[in-house]
Chain A
Amino acid sequence: MSVSTLEPTQTPQPPQPKHPERHWKDFFGFSTDHKVIAIQYFVVSFVFYLIAGAMATSIRVELATPDADFLGYENYNGVLTLHGTMMIFLWIVPAGAAFANYLIPLMIGAKDMAFPVLNGLAFWLVPPGGALLLLSLLAETPPSAGWTSYPPLSLMTGQVGQMMWILAVLLLGTSSILGGVNFVTTILKMRIKEMGLYDMPLFCWAMLATSMLILISTPVLAGALILLSFDLLAGTAFFNPTGGGDPIVYQHMFWFYSHPAVYIMILPVFGLISDILPVHARKPIFGYKAIAYSSLAIAFLGNIVWAHHMFTSGTPGWLRMFFMAATMVIAVPTGIKIFSWVATIWGGKLRLNSAMLFAIGFVSMFLVGGLSGVMVASVPFDIHVHDTYFIVAHFHYVLFGGSVFGIYAGIYHWYPKMVGRMLDETWGKVHFALTFVGFNLCFFPMHILGLQGMPRRVVQYDPAFADINRICTIGSIILAVSTLPFLFNAVYCWFWGEKALPNPWNALTLEWQTSSPPIIENFEEEPVLWSGPYDYGIDSEPEEDTRSVADLLAEVKAEM
């Protein structure tokens, strides 16, 4: 603070509203504003989505024919490894953090996160992590052991590339942990006074559960990677059977993170969907507490099912039984959510706009992934399809049909709030149609491929599988093309879209009570909680419908 400042800092300032303007340069440097950080997360993770998506398309082009004729033997494993790693650690996980950053403080009426500097720091760990992964492609041997990096394979495929992979994942994991610390503290400690835990929007509940999972599981992955890097660099043999080590221990530690990681990637989206559906169905959420508690139940159960990824790793029978049963139990809280969502839109006045289409697309596609999940939870079936394309189909229905559809739904829903302009609905619907068709064409046939016995992670395959593979490749190209209308829409409307009102959807949660985009400290004055988050259509007196939220707010204020 400069000496010439007239106002001494020690004097309490009267709460005068002053609004420093947002400058475009804020978005390109270290910021402590949660809204700026959120946009930074969005843009960076979307860039990596495009990169990892280009990798996916090249993998599919390679697999259009049974021979290794596009990427070839040398590049295939590297591209495959980075596709998986980037989609998880640089797209879906940070995209969840993006929504959490943007929405949590606004939804609970706070000015910012609990620890704004830590928040900026967490974001700035992401670009170096991504850059390391991209650079690792240039290493003599890029990381080629798949996103799981199982030893001993990961110890044999090239030291430099693999070490860059480890460092990148450690950086991204640290970022995720720091984010989790912030989310937990903000949700538990920074709500406006009137807002109890059960008045929170369900997204906050979902992020509470997600953050708990992050804090429990991500450190264990870090532990595994520390041991793996000693094996890789220092010549220890923690996971190397030739030196007396045990690769199964790595698998346990890895999946202790990576199964919960599925929920780290899907729970935020569950939250988004729980907040989108009631708004566009104009009905209260069905089973608020059931949805909130089921998030916590998933966060708990998610920690005790990891070995279902290891049914073929020589796990003893009693362990298999336990993990099979525990995994199937997770279907219960997940099913509760699906039923609640369906019951929410049942009989509602649906607005079938792009956000709603993606949200309904999410529920139906995630359902397919959830059902195949229950199938592979069963030991005999899993042993049959393990390491086949059935698994590839399953997790893409969860992570693309689930997470990515939900992220798009969230973007269409909150873009007006974040940018202050509306997205174009026609392009949005084109985007949805292409995504939906391309996605199903690409991934549904993989179930059949897997049941027929086509192994995953191969560059060359039996010509008998060629026809179905060609269908998958056509689907993947439609899917790649589907990104274009979205990109065009998002960029065009950023500058020239129709101006958005503060509350274009007539929603009730607090983020819609401020301007679009919100001012730097979010609210002109502390927002008023004048209804529950989902009280849509409860008061059906005719004159109620004609009044805007602003009018109602003014009325409430006048009474106070």
Chain B
Amino acid sequence: MQTTAETTQEHGAIAVEQAHGHGDHPDHRLFGMGVFLFAEAMIFLGLFAAYLTFRSVAEVWPPAGTPERELLLPGINTIILISSSFVMNRGNQAIKQDDVKGMQFWFGLTAALGAIFLAGQGYEYYTNTFGLTDNLFTSTFYVLTGFHGLHVMFGLSLILLVLLRSRTPGHYSSTSHFGIEASELYWHFVDVVWIVLFLILYIL
């Protein structure tokens, strides 16, 4: 039998584990996901380091002619994203009590907050008076926030996938909910990256 815990979905994991007998291993997917997120963090770290180097080498920063950045909207967006992490954690706690409905509520709320964040960012892009190629600051601004935005989109699709799967009765339970843990871990990661990004792009 070639299937392993990796290829099976959550509700089958226990059965497969029993089917495999003594030799099989416990679920390492969350550990692997953590290792992968470490690598992801290194991409962002590399990009942040590049940005900070550009900044420290430049004589004036942001380069002359860069319009003032608006802080209100991104500030609200930051609060929305940070609070969504706490909302999402409620969902994880709900599933630990086998409360699928509660999980669906909190995850649905998280997805809504994530969508508002993305919409806010889209609005900000749309109303910005500077373009991608104007100068070194505007280029890094768009590439960094855009790359982060892609990650938010991916995290959002993970949450939606969890919500879709949770419609199957018994798919998630207090003992088997890797998808919920994984999407939450990913969402927290995206959240932490945004905090750093916000600090160095908007505040610093």
Chain B residues in 8 Å Cβ range of A33: 2
Chain A residues in 8 Å Cβ range of B42: 215-220
Chain A residues in 8 Å Cβ range of B2: 32-33
Stretch at the interface among B131-139, B172-180, B195-203: B131-139
Q: Which of B46, B63, B135 contacts A223 (CB 8 A)?
A: B46
Cβ-closest chain A residue relative to B15: A10
Chain B residues in 8 Å Cβ range of A15: 21-23
What is the CA–CA distance of A10 and B19 in the complex, to the nearest angstrom? 7
Query: By the criterion CB–CB under 8 Å, are A117 and B7 in contact?
Result: yes
Chain A residues in 8 Å Cβ range of B45: 219-220
Known: A117-B7, A244-B135. A223 touches B43 (CB 8 A): yes
Chain A residues in 8 Å Cβ range of B50: 223-224, 227, 238, 249, 253
For window 35-87 of B, CB contacts with A under 8 Å fall at: 35-36, 38-47, 49-50, 53-54, 57, 63
| Cβ of B15 to closest chain A Cβ, rounded Å | 5
Q: A-side binding surface: helix, strand, loop or mixed? A: helix
Query: By the criterion CB–CB under 8 Å, are B19 and A13 in contact?
Result: yes
Q: Mark B153-168, 1 if CB is under 8 A from A, else 0.
A: 0000000000000000
**Residue A246 interfacial (CB < 8 Å):** yes
**Residue B116 interfacial (CB < 8 Å):** no
What is the CA–CA distance of A218 and B47 in the complex, to the nearest angstrom? 13
Stretch at the interface among B26-34, B105-113, B120-128: B26-34
Query: By the criterion CB–CB under 8 Å, are B139 and A182 in contact?
Result: no
Query: By the criterion CB–CB under 8 Å, are B19 and A12 in contact?
Result: yes
Q: Which of A12, A116, A215, A526 contacts B6 (CB 8 A)?
A: A116
What is the CA–CA distance of A188 and B25 in the complex, to the nearest angstrom? 12
Chain A residues in 8 Å Cβ range of B143: 226-227, 230, 236
For window 6-22 of A, CB contacts with B under 8 Å fall at: 9-15
Known: A236-B139, A238-B139. A185 touches B7 (CB 8 A): no
Stretch at the interface among A107-115, A394-402, A550-558: A107-115
What is the CA–CA distance of A46 and B117 in the complex, to the nearest angstrom? 48
Q: Which of A10, A224, A230 contacts B46 (CB 8 A)?
A: A224
**Residue A333 interfacial (CB < 8 Å):** no
Q: Which of A9, A181, A252 contacts B32 (CB 8 A)?
A: A181
**Residue A95 interfacial (CB < 8 Å):** no
**Residue A189 interfacial (CB < 8 Å):** yes
Known: A116-B4, A226-B143. A237 touches B136 (CB 8 A): yes
Query: By the criterion CB–CB under 8 Å, are A220 and B25 in contact?
Result: no
Cβ-closest chain A residue relative to B2: A32
Report the number of A-B residue pairs with Cβ-Cβ less than 8 Å: 133
| Cβ of A251 to closest chain B Cβ, rounded Å | 11
Query: By the criterion CB–CB under 8 Å, are A246 and B57 in contact?
Result: yes
What is the CA–CA distance of A245 and B134 in the complex, to the nearest angstrom? 12
What is the CA–CA distance of A243 and B49 in the complex, to the nearest angstrom? 20
Chain B residues in 8 Å Cβ range of A217: 42
Chain A residues in 8 Å Cβ range of B28: 114-115, 185, 189-190
**Residue A222 interfacial (CB < 8 Å):** yes
| Cβ of B62 to closest chain A Cβ, rounded Å | 11
**Residue A371 interfacial (CB < 8 Å):** no
Query: By the criterion CB–CB under 8 Å, are A249 and B54 in contact?
Result: yes
Query: By the criterion CB–CB under 8 Å, are A244 and B31 in contact?
Result: no
Query: By the criterion CB–CB under 8 Å, are B15 and A9 in contact?
Result: yes
Q: Which of B21, B35, B57, B139 contacts A185 (CB 8 A)?
A: B35
Known: A224-B46, A234-B133, A236-B143. A111 touches B23 (CB 8 A): yes
Cβ-closest chain B residue relative to A111: B23
Cβ-closest chain A residue relative to B33: A181
Query: By the criterion CB–CB under 8 Å, are B29 and A115 in contact?
Result: yes
Q: Which of B15, B21, B139 contacts A14 (CB 8 A)?
A: B21
Q: Which of A12, A185, A218, A219 contacts B31 (CB 8 A)?
A: A185
**Residue A184 interfacial (CB < 8 Å):** yes
What is the CA–CA distance of A538 and B7 in the complex, to the nearest angstrom? 44
**Residue A177 interfacial (CB < 8 Å):** yes
| Cβ of B136 to closest chain A Cβ, rounded Å | 5
Chain A residues in 8 Å Cβ range of B15: 9-10
Q: Mark A258-282, 1 if CB is under 8 A from B, else 0.
A: 0000000000000000000000000
Q: Mark A101-126, 1 if CB is under 8 A from B, else 0.
A: 00000000011101111100000000
What is the CA–CA distance of A218 and B35 in the complex, to the nearest angstrom? 13
Cβ-closest chain B residue relative to A250: B50
Chain B residues in 8 Å Cβ range of A249: 50, 53-54
Q: Which of A12, A218, A220, A256 contacts B21 (CB 8 A)?
A: A12
What is the CA–CA distance of A465 and B112 in the complex, to the nearest angstrom? 70
Cβ-closest chain A residue relative to B40: A219
**Residue B129 interfacial (CB < 8 Å):** no
Chain A residues in 8 Å Cβ range of B139: 230, 236-238
For window 525-556 of A, CB contacts with B under 8 Å fall at: 525-526
B residues near A, CB below 8 A?
A: 2, 4, 6-7, 12, 15-16, 18-19, 21-25, 28-29, 31-32, 35-36, 38-47, 49-50, 53-54, 57, 63, 132-133, 135-136, 139-140, 143, 147
A residues near B, CB below 8 A?
A: 9-15, 32-33, 110-112, 114-118, 177-178, 180-182, 184-185, 188-190, 215-220, 222-224, 226-227, 230, 234-238, 243-246, 249, 252-253, 256, 525-526
The 5 A-B pairs of least Cβ separation, nearest first, read A223-B46, A220-B46, A219-B42, A219-B43, A15-B21
Kindly list 11 other residue pairs between chains A and B, CB separation below 8 angstroms, not including A115-B32, A181-B39, A215-B39.
A9-B15, A14-B21, A32-B2, A32-B4, A111-B24, A217-B42, A220-B45, A237-B133, A238-B50, A238-B140, A249-B53
A–B Cβ pairs within 8 angstroms, 19 of them: A9-B19, A12-B19, A12-B21, A13-B19, A111-B24, A114-B25, A118-B6, A177-B36, A181-B32, A184-B35, A215-B39, A216-B42, A218-B42, A219-B40, A219-B43, A223-B44, A226-B147, A236-B133, A252-B53
